[in-house]
Amino acid sequence: MKTFFLLYNMLFLYCLSQIAVMDMDMHFPRRRYSIMPKHQN
């Protein structure tokens, strides 16, 4: 049961990070692309 909770927590954190990245794309597109290559997703 503990491993299931850990996996669920990691998935939740991954989703949050993806939302934060999309938010960064909206506000600072040029700054992000100057640091990181553009991803096709």
* Average pLDDT, consecutive stretches of 10 residues, N- to C-terminus, the chain (41 residues): 90 82 62 55 50
For residues 22 and 29, is the Cβ–Cβ distance under 8 A?
Answer: no
DSSP H helical ranges for 1-41: 2-27, 29-35
Q: What is the pLDDT of residue 8?
A: 93
Domain boundaries, the chain: 2-35
- pTM over 0.85? The answer is no
